[in-house]
Chains A and B, each alone.
Chain A
Amino acid sequence: MFTQPEQTGFLPLVQLSALVSRLMTLGYQCLGPTVENGAIVMRELSKPDGLPRGLQAEQAPGHYRLRRDPHNRYFAWANGPQAIKPQTFAPTESLWRVARDDAGALKFTAVLPSSPAQAIIGVRACDLAALALQDAHFLREGRHDAHYAHRREKMFLVAVQCAEPGATCFCASTGDGPTPTVGYDISLAELEAGFVAVAGSAKGQAVLDLLNLSPATPQQIEAAQQQGQDAAASQTRSLPVRNLRDVLMSQLEHPRWDEVATRCLACGNCTAVCPTCFCHAEMDVPSLDGQTSEHERKWDSCFGESHGHLHGTNVRPDIRSRYRQWLTHKLATWHDQFGRSGCVGCGRCIAWCPVGIDLTEEVAALTANKVQA
């Protein structure tokens, strides 16, 4: 992106609200960065000019604090605890319901979500990579998940290049950022005076056309490109290689699994903030009068006691095997399922781990002397 000047516009800072306004006019429920409980989260914007400005997200293992951005930018925060996963794969939702009449007869009814078309402003490259993986899982050929598809198909994505990665970020090493390359409708790179803007879809182009942007200058395009390169170069964490499948699967009895199990609380925070984790529990929620029951799904975690439950026993009774399940699925067997790693380098599992377990550090320990970068 930001490579073809003829298709690249320039959106002055003061015009950002015009973009949001256009999307609202088109009927989108617009979600954008909002400060809540000391973190950036995606929430519905009540007005086009309400985006927070001048915030950075200081991140470290087990640490997340908002601080002032000296350059007063709109998108200097790297990311918040959630990507856009909750907007497509709902944390809790009803899949179907069943009613029982007095004679005991059952009547099943599919329940479909009725959510509006959403536009999300401020999506990161890692979030787009994660969304592509969630698409691969939930929209697998011939196996569309109706609930996921319903929300996903109507979604409008305004991506933003990361100029200020967090200390926990390593998307450059997974190949997923910091500059968005695919999967967006519009992508923005924030410069001092405004945004270099490019469309990634016909509907994105249609919105940009409505804004009558002047073309970005070669200098602006070059500045955006340089900013992306600098952001990549500033990342301090990394994974040694893109495909860790064989090396990790050859280390299944490594003593490091026992060691990390002494620190891991099996709280499941990492799986809750991971933008690619897709596990969910299905459960019935019967009404108090006993006449109906909702069959719901809810995000689940492979760190939980019930995940490996198998008629009276547990396939993964200890934290060692649960951490190993999570890490080997994410970084190794994900390749078998989806043709790439399940990690997009967002670093959320590091920042939001209450004891600061660092995935990149664990991988380094598990693969020491086994891989050459």
Chain B
Amino acid sequence: MTAKPGVDAGPPHTATVVARTQESPSIFTLQVRFDDAATQAAYRFAPGQFNMLYLFGVGEVPVSIMSDPGDRSGIGHTIRALGRVTQGLAALQSGDKVGLRGPFGRGWPLQEIGGNDIVLVTGGLGCAPVVSVIHYILKRRERYGKLVIIQGVKHTEDLIWREQYDRWARLPDTQVLVAASEGAALWPWHVGRVTELFGLAQFNPACASAMMCGPEGMMRAAADSLLQRGLPESRLFLSMERNMQCAVGRCGHCQLGGSFVCRNGPVFSWGQVKSLLAHRGF
């Protein structure tokens, strides 16, 4: 909730892929820089915001920014190859050109929740917006209390950045709880629903904040559990996803009730969206 919402309706700026990492068979990360040095130097974002990445002749997709706002070397986007644009983006290599505009929307309230214990809940592959928060907090560890990372995946191979979770689990005041619905050999974490892990999370509800991203059913279950443990609704935040085509609150696809997710979100407080999340189809 720090950076002002973007109003860059296009056309995009030219940008270059400076690094590409394959994270899993279908997930990859593109590190991108604006070609214009002044644009790159002026670019600022808050964790939780997103960019529109454009692939020549195919179109644009919204992608949340997963790199650290202090990292001036490039802007990181972790993407799952799924649709026409993302499958095309998956084929890009270092040096290839894309279009880029952003950042858009409202990020996580990382200033407001300073000093709190932090509970991060992610499910499935929607982890990039939350992983950016983990990196952000670990780099500024003294500003926050305990850190609880809860991640649920369906299959064990869906957990990308697996070695990071191992590393985080060894850090002081940091608890990592991972669950896969379907287990596999050498899987060190819980097998079962991620909701079964909420009870193990160690935090002080009186001075904690939680941030969630992932399937809505999982977020509803997580919210129930966290609120039941005494976390106030005003300190429970989630990142919403909807179809986005313009990113500036015009095209109408991302509407969630009266909110435009691209402009009023993607990060919302639980109270803002809970009534609609109770109904399928919004």
**Residues of A that sit less than 8 Å from B by CB:** 95-98, 100, 104-110, 137-138, 140, 142-143, 145-146, 249, 252-253, 278-284, 286, 290, 293, 295, 297, 300, 302, 306-312, 315-316, 318, 320-321, 324-325, 328-329, 333-337
Cα A258 to Cα B246 in complex, Å, equals: 31
Cα A21 to Cα B245 in complex, Å, equals: 43
**Residues of B that sit less than 8 Å from A by CB:** 7, 9-14, 54, 56-60, 80, 82-83, 96-99, 241-243, 245-246, 248-253, 255, 257-259, 275, 279-282
A-B contact pairs, 10 of them (CB 8 A): A95-B11, A96-B12, A108-B14, A110-B10, A143-B7, A284-B59, A308-B243, A310-B243, A311-B83, A325-B255
Q: Tell whether, in the assembled complex, residue B246 and residue A100 are in contact, meaning their CB atoms are under 8 Å apart.
A: no
Q: Tell whether, in the assembled complex, residue A309 and residue B14 are in contact, meaning their CB atoms are under 8 Å apart.
A: no
Q: Tell whether, in the assembled complex, residue B97 and residue A295 are in contact, meaning their CB atoms are under 8 Å apart.
A: no
Q: Tell whether, in the assembled complex, residue B57 and residue A286 are in contact, meaning their CB atoms are under 8 Å apart.
A: yes
* Cross-chain contact of A279 among B58, B59, B251 (Cβ < 8 A): B251
Nearest neighbor of A95 in chain B, beta-carbon distance: B10
Cα A334 to Cα B255 in complex, Å, equals: 11
* Residues of chain A within 8 A of B12, CB atoms compared: 96, 108
* Cross-chain contact of A105 among B9, B14, B243, B281 (Cβ < 8 A): B14
Q: Tell whether, in the assembled complex, residue B57 and residue A300 are in contact, meaning their CB atoms are under 8 Å apart.
A: no
Q: Tell whether, in the assembled complex, residue B251 and residue A104 are in contact, meaning their CB atoms are under 8 Å apart.
A: no
Given A311-B82, A337-B258, A98 contacting B251 (CB threshold 8 A): no
Nearest neighbor of B56 in chain A, beta-carbon distance: A100
Given A137-B250, A145-B250, A310-B241, A104 contacting B11 (CB threshold 8 A): no
* Cross-chain contact of A96 among B10, B82, B243, B255 (Cβ < 8 A): B10
Interface of chain B, main secondary structure: loop
Q: Tell whether, in the assembled complex, residue A282 and residue B251 are in contact, meaning their CB atoms are under 8 Å apart.
A: yes
Q: Tell whether, in the assembled complex, residue A300 and residue B253 are in contact, meaning their CB atoms are under 8 Å apart.
A: yes
Q: Tell whether, in the assembled complex, residue A106 and residue B251 are in contact, meaning their CB atoms are under 8 Å apart.
A: no
* Cross-chain contact of B246 among A249, A282, A310 (Cβ < 8 A): A282
Q: How far is the CB of B164 from chain A (nearest CB, A)?
A: 23
Cα A334 to Cα B241 in complex, Å, equals: 21
Q: How far is the CB of A327 from chain B (nearest CB, A)?
A: 12
Nearest neighbor of B57 in chain A, beta-carbon distance: A286
Cα A101 to Cα B248 in complex, Å, equals: 29
Apart from A284-B59, A295-B10: 17 A-B pairs, beta carbons within 8 A: A95-B11, A96-B12, A104-B96, A106-B56, A137-B250, A142-B7, A143-B248, A143-B250, A280-B250, A282-B246, A283-B59, A300-B251, A300-B253, A310-B241, A315-B282, A324-B281, A328-B257
Q: Tell whether, in the assembled complex, residue A311 and residue B80 are in contact, meaning their CB atoms are under 8 Å apart.
A: yes
Given A105-B97, A281-B251, A290 contacting B60 (CB threshold 8 A): no
* Residues of chain B within 8 A of A109, CB atoms compared: 11
* Residues of chain A within 8 A of B253, CB atoms compared: 279, 281, 300, 307-308
